[in-house]
A and B are shown apart, each in its own frame.
Chain A
Amino acid sequence: MAMEVTQILLNAQAVDATVRNHAEENLKQFQEQNLPSFLLSLSGELGDDDKPVESRKLAGLILKNALDAKEQHRKFELVQRWLSLDSPVKSQIKTCLLKTLSSPVYDARSTASQVIAKIAGIELPHKQWPELIGSLLSNVHQLPAHTRQATLETLGYMCEEVSADVVDQDQVNKILTAVIQGMNSSEGNSDVRLAATRALYNALGFAQANFTNDMERDYIMRVVCEATLSSEEKIRQAAFECLVSISSTYYDKLAPYIHDIFNITAKAVREDEEPVALQAIEFWSSICDEEIDILEEYGGDFSGDSDIPCFYFIKQALPVLVPMLLETLLKQEEDQDQDEGAWNIAMAGGTCLGLVARTVGDDIVPLVMPFIEENIAKPDWRQREAATYAFGSILEGPSPDKLIPLVNVALNFMLSALMNDPNTHVKDTTAWTLGRMFEFLHGSTLETSIITQENCQQIITVLLHSMKDVPNVAEKACGALYFLAQGYEDVGPSSSPLTPFFQDIVQALLTLTHRDDAGESRLCTAAYETLNEAVRCSTEDTAPMVMQLVPLIMMELHQTLETQKLSSDEREKKNELQGLLCGCLQVIIQKLGSSEPTKYVFMQYADQMMGLFLRVFASRSATAHEEAMLAIGALAYAAGPDFAKYMPEFYKYLEMGLQNFEDYQVCAITVGVVGDICRAMEDKMLPYCDGIMTQLLKDLSSNQLHRSVKPPIFSCFGDIALAIGENFEKYLMYAMPMLQSAAELSAHTSAADDDMIEYTNLLRNGILEAYSGIFQGFKSSPKTQILMPYAPHVLQFLDSLYMEKDMDDVVSKTAIGVIGDLADTLGSNAGPLIQQSVSSKDFLSECLSSHDHLTKESAEWAKLAINRAISF
């Protein structure tokens, strides 16, 4: 059955595009005509030591891609396709792959490992291929080193592919034994040790039982720690990666080892190669993550119930940990600030220091202050930068009481450093540190702010000056200004301390967006987002200046739409800019639309603005579409019923958005915008509802659409019903069964998975909002009684939600509202039904005594509606 494919595979990698395309076409045809034969040929090619390595690698890769895909529904199809192949074919392929593991050619072995893991990922959950692990491990000791290496690599990939619950403990033990033996220092071959160490990284998730057994755990930990001392850098790195994984998976088992681990990590951080040192730091960052989570749970709930107790490792290690991290700060790279993806030991150390500060709070301050004081004024820029970075890192975590006196002393120093320090790195970090000061120590929630009338002007002068600095410093200055503006968001409607500087701020930010080197996208984004924040937090007295921005930004947007014949790189930049400009207009619309006088003036631009937004849809950028949609949603709300005049033109883009499964965020935002438009246009929405409802129903039945879009779609049903009232009648026969079956699915959260519970609650809330909207939409219509047949189900849904006892507050509030809406609209006809429901009694009285103000309010209203329904 197998066919000769070597030449085609080689041609498929040819430099000549014609040859390559032809070969790819051949492969595609072959696959379509006879899949089993195709897969067999590929596995044969991969396993044949007489074939060239290039064709073997590609054969394996195609085989792998025939088993797995990134996209969820595609992946599902491939899995089904494999499962439905004839068993003899599958077993022939598998035998061939297992045989390939003994090939002397590394690439062939390694590719085979990955393919085997993919097949295991499909078959083991179906209880197929039970002999796999046994056959991999049989005679593992007698095999030649290269085969042992391949076997361990396969085990590692396999553990990555399958979930722990499909492998018996007995087999887990065998895997772990083989892996640990492979890691042991008695293993002479370092390739085998490396493969074993990497395999352990993936196998750790399987070792729950083994980690509860003291002896086994001690043994595993000893071998891992030994491996961190290997003479091979890659083994040391892999061993530290294992430790990082252990720190999060088995935090509660670490106490006996933490002292030794500290010594090992400290040595690695100080002396080892960077990739190893980074993992050693990561170990402590990961411990911080764990302790922050646990302490948050302690704090959030007085019962102090966290499943895992806090061992306060960080607090205990603090006196030695902090000096170690401070040392790393001095190992900066020359150009790290220019490179967005940069990651080095100094950055990792500072990040860890920030986490430590969040974990221990005030205790870190006395340990860091001497370092700052000693280094902040040194001639070596590295020392000044490290001191500043240390200061910035610890601004979140310790109490304002502890920090404010220090910041008050440091602020002037920082401002002058930002103006005058000769070194760019220092200025960059200084601006960032100022931003952190404003983020955490300035705002209406604090009793005393570090910003006063006196220093405000100076701060702004310095920040605006820094916007003329090199791009990375200018961008950090924007960040500082962003948080400065944000601190004034609750300052009141009429005037803000920023008012005197508003014009200058806007001017400086706009200038920044026009800088030649603003093409550096981080800078342009930071400038626009800072402008947005300044606008969002602005007050009535600066409204005229915001108004002046409207034509300006519109002109910018217009210009991006006029440019033509761009390279793909330029087009991408242009789309990004369109997104930023639409985002900016969205914020401005929101701001000016929120008060009548400004709205009135602003609306004269509406026609033109809408025209620009519609043109943005001609681009293919998902981000630009999202931003344009959001801006249109804001515009619709401001325009009210007048928005109807834009609908004939806008409708097709709305439909396009609702059909965009691929960029599901676009779809989600469009669904939200449908809601905005409903609220704006009310019954003028009617002519468009057939099309919109059709599309929404299609979206709901699609298994390709990301699930997160479904709850907003249900809410959107409610929005439509509220807008068009009894005209929703014709959609009831489609919408209600959808709601009903979704309700039945969501009534029980079978999975204990937190994500699933959260999603289920979102879904419930969407469904309930739909019901509320529909009932309220029909209220006072002569047709209310056509809803009567649905009432039993709705009440049943509410009852079963109540019985499940796992609603979150938001769902409770919406749910109790629904029963009120039902009673309100259906009145005495539903009285007997309502009286029978548990929700109308027990759930209601629970909500009446709720601590949540909004829930209580909804419940009180529901009670009135229910009483009226059952007593009249």
Chain B
Amino acid sequence: MADEGLVSHKRDPLKSSVGNVAAHRRRQHAVTIGKERREAVVRTKRLCRVGISEDSDVSIDNDMVLDEEQSILEAQTSSAVKELKASVAYQGKGVMQRRVSAIRELRCLLSRSEFPPVEAALKAGAVPLLVQCLSFGSPDEQLLEAAWCLTNIAAGKPEETKTLLPALPLLIAHLGEKSSLPVAEQCAWALGNVAGEGEELRNVLLSQGALVPLARMMLPNKGSTVRTAAWALSNLIKGPDPRAATELIRIDGVLDAIARHLRKADEELATEVAWVVVYLSALSNTATSILVKSDVLQLLVERLATSNSLQLLIPVLRSLGNLVAGDTQTSNVLVPGHEITDNAIAALIKCLKSEHRVLKKEAAWVLSNIAAGSIEHKKLIYTSEAVPLLLRLLSTAPFDIRKEAAYALGNFCVAPTEGAGKPTLILEHLVSLVGRGCLPGFIDLVRSADTEAARLGLQFMEMVLRAMPNGEGPKLVEREDGIDAMERFQFHENEDLRNMANGLVDKYFGEDYGLDE
């Protein structure tokens, strides 16, 4: 065996045969060709334009927009802008007609392709001309087409959206009551796109007074105008500055309109309105306290119970969670024993059972907010079907859902704090939850890289160590490898967590641990 003990290292000689290398390269090449062709197929599919516009007058064009067509499109656009310029300068007979058809031509070009020739239009100087076309007293048709062009330009790249700055005052002006509905809606649309671009443009719009007229547009009972306005508003109040949200809720009739739409409107409109509520409740404390006192909470619960539209359910759940979290006295609204509370919990349970990850997560979050309330709240949910569902989520769901479920479960075990000091426990809940096997789920959180989740896990472990009857806590924790999980924090960069974990290990698993066995 001595002579075959080690096989000496031998490298490939520099001088080698071409055959093997070449064969390998050839096969690699064949594989690369396959990849390139796949990319080409996907690219072609992407460029394949499908009519998605609801407007029948936009020609639906199923051809592929190839590069050449794109450059043709760009050339057409510059000449359309040129024609528009000429028509704006023209003062003779039939000027209105000529101008409208020039803008319409441009609007069609800007709506036609997957890659609207926005850049070409801007380069040709479209914006100042369109602003001119928006001047007061212009015929509705012209206003509509001009606002439409601007809407499409605003949907472009950020720097393209910014080119709308000179047009904003006029677009806002045309939101007023004197404008026809289609014109106002088209302007709201353009403004919504602008507001969606970012904080800077939102602030410009707010300082130019876009909020009030948009809010008024939301007041009527139905119609696409209301929906568009609600959508634009939700973009406009996105913050992070809360002032717009606060201002909006104080505008006369807004609260009433929100409630009305949530009560009666179709799901599409309700969805947009719910998004408005999301931002109101997320950003503004004033808005939150006004909303919880209104019917809105009740209406949200009803929508949650009755709708199956994911688009609607997401903003509704989020609004609900914001309201419950933001209100210091949730108990004022969701009083245990009242029908609304039972309905809310039933609806949330429905969401926990749903297939959708987002719904599960948001529902667990809302429940954890409710569970943070009074002892009665805790007892109420605790006896519901929510607990087994949350327990299952804690052990099987993806991380973010698990974390929300853990918050809810943790909240069940802690009584509301009165004064300083460690929170009092609800031992009955703790013992029963541990008995139903929730400890490994929390210990798992301790191991996660997310410090918030780790802290939550540690806090729960602390309760188990401290409070489980018969000093059973340490044994339970040890059995589930909790010590190992805590020891990972021994040199953790987060001082707080490090102290917490080390403190627990020292206190419960110090020198004396296990001696009595």
Contacts and interface: CB of A to CB of B under 8 A. Distances in A.
Contact of A872 (B14, B52, B157): B52
Given A389-B15, A530-B18, A679 B27 contact: no
Contacts of A772: 42
Contacts of A530: 18, 22
Given A526-B17, A586-B30, A718-B38, A241 B9 contact: yes
B118 to A, nearest CB: 10
Contact of A238 (B6, B19, B34, B157): B6
B64 to A, nearest CB: 13
B45 interface: yes
Given A241-B9, A820-B46, A792 B18 contact: no
A351 B13 contact: yes
A276 B357 CA distance: 65
27 contacts: A110-B2, A241-B9, A278-B8, A285-B11, A350-B13, A350-B15, A526-B19, A526-B22, A529-B19, A536-B26, A583-B23, A630-B27, A633-B34, A676-B37, A777-B45, A779-B45, A788-B310, A792-B356, A793-B357, A817-B42, A827-B52, A829-B311, A832-B315, A836-B358, A860-B157, A867-B155, A871-B196
B38 A675 contact: yes
A780 B50 contact: yes
Given A532-B26, A832-B271, A833-B358, A676 B34 contact: yes
Contacts, number: 185
Contacts of B310: 788-789, 792, 833
Nearest to A428: B15
Interface in B13-63: 13-15, 17-20, 22-23, 26-27, 30-31, 33-34, 37-38, 41-42, 45-46, 48, 50, 52-54
Nearest to A153: B5
A719 B310 CA distance: 29
B448 to A, nearest CB: 11
Contacts of B26: 529, 532, 536, 583, 586-587
A132 B48 CA distance: 68
B189 A871 contact: yes
A393 B1 contact: no
A848 B34 contact: no
Nearest to A580: B23
Contacts of A375: none
A867 B161 CA distance: 12
A429 B15 contact: yes
Contacts of A479: 17-18
A809 to B, nearest CB: 14
Contacts of A870: 196
Nearest to A631: B30
Given A831-B311, A833-B358, 20 more contacts: A110-B2, A111-B1, A153-B5, A279-B9, A350-B15, A351-B14, A528-B19, A536-B26, A586-B26, A630-B30, A672-B30, A675-B34, A676-B34, A773-B42, A779-B45, A779-B48, A780-B50, A817-B46, A832-B275, A832-B315
B15 A821 contact: no
Interface in A445-487: 475-476, 478-479, 482-483
Interface string A843-872: 001001000000000001101110110111
B314 interface: yes
Interface in B294-312: 310-311
A525 B23 contact: yes
Given A194-B2, A820-B46, A796 B357 contact: yes
B33 A590 contact: yes
A861 B311 contact: no
Interface string A467-509: 0000000011011001100000000000000000000000000
Interface of A: 106-107, 110-111, 153, 191, 194, 198, 201, 234, 237-238, 241, 244, 275, 278-279, 282, 285, 340, 342-343, 347-348, 350-351, 354, 389, 392-393, 429, 432, 435, 475-476, 478-479, 482-483, 522, 525-526, 528-530, 532-533, 536, 583, 586-587, 590, 626, 630, 633-634, 637, 669, 672, 675-676, 679, 715, 718-719, 722, 744, 769, 772-773, 776-777, 779-780, 788-789, 792-793, 796, 817, 820-821, 824, 827, 829, 831-833, 836, 845, 848, 860-861, 863-865, 867-868, 870-872
A529 B9 contact: no
Contacts of B34: 633, 672, 675-676
Contacts of A432: 15
Contacts of A820: 46
Question: Which residue among A529, A719, A779 has the maximum number of chain B CB atoms within 10 Å of its CB?
Answer: A529
Interface residues of B, number: 58
Contacts of A201: 6
Prevailing SS type, chain B contact patch: helix
A343 B15 contact: no
B313 to A, nearest CB: 10
Contacts of A779: 45, 48, 50
Contact of A522 (B19, B27, B33): B19
Contact of B1 (A110, A718, A865): A110
Given A744-B398, A820-B46, A237 B5 contact: no
A478 B27 CA distance: 19
Interface string B47-84: 01010111000000000000000000000000000000
B316 to A, nearest CB: 11
Given A482-B18, A861-B46, A871-B193, A106 B1 contact: yes
B10 interface: yes
B481 to A, nearest CB: 14
Contacts of A536: 26
Contacts of A528: 19
Nearest to A478: B18
A107 B15 contact: no
Contacts of A769: 38
B314 A832 contact: yes
Given A201-B6, A479-B18, A868 B30 contact: no
A821 B6 contact: no
Contacts of A676: 34, 37
